[in-house]
Structure 1
Amino acid sequence: MSIRSGRQTNAWSDNWWPCSPLRSFISPRAIANAGFSLSSMVADLVAADNGQWLWPEAWYDAYPVLINIDIHQIIAGVNDRLWWKDLDGNLQHFESGEVWNSLRNREDKVLWVNSVWFSQCIPRHSFHLWLVIKNKLKTQDRLTVWEAGSATNLQLMCCPLCKYDRDTRDHLFFQCHFSSEVWGLVRKYVDMGGVLNTLSSIIQWMELVANSRTLEHIICKILVAATTYFIRQERNNRLFSTLARNADALSKIIIDTVRLRIMGFKVSGEPKYDKILERWLISKNMALEPS
C-alpha cells in the first residue's frame, strides 16, 4: 500500500512498509496495551498536530526496527493506493494476471510450445500431444510404477497394437511395429527431412520449427498431433473393445482429418502452395494463407 490519507491501510496487517506487517513482530497484547486496536489505520498512528508517530517511546527499544520507519505525510481526502510487486520486484498496478503469475508454479520455458499450441491446431489433438510430451498418458509402464494389478497381470501386459512389447510412451510413438507403419504412411504427405520414427527425434524437429508460420510446417505440426491422437485412440479401442483398424485404414482417417483442417485455411493462390495442395488433393480455389 502507498500511503496517502492512511485511512485505507491497516497499520498492523497491511504491507505499507518494507518490514510490514507490523503484527509479525508486535503482538496484539502490546498493541492493545498501547491504546490501539487491531483495526487501527495508519492515519490513527500519526499525530494530527505534529505528524509524529503516536506509539510509545518504549517501542523503539523493544522494536528497534521502528526507528527506520519514515513519518508519512498524510494527505487528507486522497485514498491510499494499492500496488503489486511483480516477480522482478517492480511495483505494478494490481491485476489478477500479476497475482496468478506470482502464485503459480513456474518451470523453464520449453522450446516446443508453439509446435503444440498454435492458432491453426486442432485443440483436442494438441492437448493429447502435450500429454504425450509430458509423459502423462496412462501407459502400462506407468501402471507398474503405481503397482496396479498383480505381478502376474503386469507380466502379461503387452502393447495392444503389436502384441510384442509393453506399451510405453516411446513404444507407442512410434517404435511399435503398427504405429511405425502408420507413421510411415502419413509422413509421405509432408516433408520432415531426416526425422526418425522416435519421439525424441520428432520433439527435436518440433523445437526447430516451433516459430515457423509456413504452410508446410503448420501442416506438419497438425499431422504429428493427429497421428499421436489416433494411434492412442486405436490403442484404447483394441484394449477396451473389439474394434480394430489396420494401418491403411487408420492412416486414411489421419490424412482425411488433416486434409479437412487444411481446407478450412484461407490460402492464397500463390504458386508456392500448389505442390502442397496437390499432394493433399485440395483444389486451388479452396486455398488461402493460414491466418
Structure 2
Amino acid sequence: MLRKLLKLRSKAYYFLKIKIGNGDDTFFCWDPWTPFGPLIHYFGTNGPTLLGIPLFSTVKDQTTSTGWNLSPARSEKQTLLYAYITTINLSLSSDKAVWMIDEVTQRSFCSRNVWNKIRDPKPLVPWYQLVWHKARIPKHAFTVWLFILNRNPTLDRLVRWGCDVEKTCLLCGEEEESRDHLFFQCSYSAGIWKNIVAILTPLVAPSHWESTIIWLNSASLSKDTFLALLQAWHACIYEVWSERNRRYHSGKTLPPSSVYRNVLNACTNRAQSLVLHNPDRLSLLRCWESH
C-alpha cells in the first residue's frame, strides 16, 4: 500500500502549494511555490544553471533588501516566472503548505474533490441513483453494483470460465442460474421480492432484471417510499445472493420466509440508524416499522 501511495506523489504536487511568508523554509527549485509547480520540473535539470542560483537555495536566499536577486531572463519561461515573482512580497510569517484545488485553498482534504480532478470524467450511467442512494447499506450497494455490471460469479459465468459445475439454480432447482434468473425469475426469489414490494406500494413489480431497472427509474412514488423501495431491492439481492452462497459453499438452506425476514430486518435497522442522525428520515422508518 505504501508503494502505491508513493506513486501518487506526482499527482499530489498538482494540489500542493507553498504560500510564501519569509521564504526561509521553501526551496527555490524543488518546492511548489509558483503556479508552474516545482521549478526543477518546469525548467528541467538545467534550471538552476539557467537561473544562476544554487541547487538548494531557498526563496529567501534569492532576495536582497531591495528586491529579488535574479539573473536576466533569457527565455519565455523565465519571463513568465519573473512576472509572477514580482507579485510576491516577503513577510515576517513562516511559509505555509496548503492544499489547493482550482487555485482555491481547501480547509481540509476531501478525497471526492481530488478524485474528481484527477480522474477522466465519464457520462453518468442511468442507474447510478438506484445504487448510490442516501439510504443505502454499503455492502448491499456494492453487491448490487457488481450485479448491474454482471461481475458476480453466477453459475452460468463459472461455466463460461471453464469451471466444471452444474448450472442448475441452487434455489429453485428448475432452471440454469444466471443473474437475470436469480433476480427475480427464480420461483424462490420472486416470492420474496413481490412480498416485500407489496409492503411499500400497490404497484406490481416486474420480475425481469432489465424491466426492474426501468421500473425503478420511472417509479412515481414519494421520496421516502422510493428510498424504501430501493432499500428493499438492494436487500433482496443481497440476501438472495447470500442464501445462494450459503447453499453453494456449506450446503445449508433457509426457507424463503427466513430470507424475507432478513430483508425486513436489514431495511428496518438501516432506517432506524438514519433516524438517529436525521429525524427527517422518520417517514422512511414508518415504511418498515409496522411489519
Partner Cα separation in structure 1 for residue 195 and residue 50 of structure 2: 82
Name the counterpart of 2:76: 64
Deviations 1:75-117 (A, max 9, x none): 231334544442xx34223632144554467654556555545
Per the alignment, do residues 171 and 105 of structure 1 end up closer, same or farther by CA in structure 2, a change over 3 Å counting? farther
How far did 1:66 drift?
A: 0.3
Contact 1:114 1:210 in 2 (8 A): no
Q: Which residue of 1 aligns with 2:237?
A: 228
1:162 maps to 172
Distance 1:110 1:25, change over 3 A: closer
The secondary structure found in structure 2 opposite 1:16 is coil
Gaps of 5+ in 1: 283-291
Q: Which residue of 2 aligns with 1:204?
A: 214
Q: Which digits, 9 at most, give the CA deviation of each residue in 1:41-61, with x for residues without a partner?
A: 222223x14324423x4xx33
Mapping for residues 84-95 of structure 1, pairs under 5 Å: 84-86=99-101, 89-93=102-106, 95=108
Distance 1:24 1:253, change over 3 A: closer
Q: Which residue type is aligned with residue 18 of structure 1?
A: P
SS in 2 for 1:96: coil
Preserved CA contact (<8 Å) 1:82 1:94: no
Higher mean C-alpha displacement, 70-79 vs 252-261: 252-261
Partner of 2:152: 137
Correspondent of 1:181 among 187, 191, 194: 191
> Which residue of 1 is the match for residue 5 of structure 2?
none
What's the counterpart of residue 17 of structure 1? 34
Deviation at residue 31 of structure 1 after TM alignment:
2.4
Whole-angstrom distance in 2 between the partners of 1:122 and 1:242: 27
Q: Which residues in structure 2 correspond to 1:223-262 (within 5 Å)?
A: 223-248=232-257, 250-255=259-264, 258=267
Aligned residues: 262
The share of aligned pairs that are identical, in percent, is 24
One-letter code aligned to 1:224: W
Once the two structures are superposed, residues 200-253 of structure 1 have per-residue CA deviations (whole angstroms, 9 ceiling, x without a partner) of 333334445699533x33432332222112211221122223323444554455
Distance 1:29 1:122 in 2: 55
Structure 2 residue 83 is matched with structure 1 residue 38:
no
CA shift in 2, pair 1:7/1:261, >3 Å: closer
- Structure 2 counterpart of 1:204, which letter? I
Deviation, 1:265, is 8.6
Could you tell me how far apart the structure 2 residues matched to 1:32 and 1:204 are?
64
Inter-partner Cα distance in structure 2 for 1:141 and 1:176? 14
Q: Larger Rg: 1 or 2? A: 1
Distance 1:265 1:33, change over 3 A: closer
Q: How does 1:112-131 map to 2 (within 5 A)?
A: 115-116=130-131, 121-131=136-146
- CA–CA distance in 1 between the matches of 2:54 and 2:178? 63
CA distance in 1, matches of 2:220, 2:144: 14
Q: TM-score, normalised on structure 1?
A: 0.68
- CA gap of 1:7–1:204, structure 2 versus 1, over 3 A, is farther
Distance change >3 Å, CA 6–CA 136, structure 1 → 2: same
Unaligned runs of 5+ in 2: 1-17
Q: Is residue 40–residue 47 contact of structure 2 (8 Å, CA) maintained in 1?
A: no
- TM-score, reference length from structure 2: 0.68
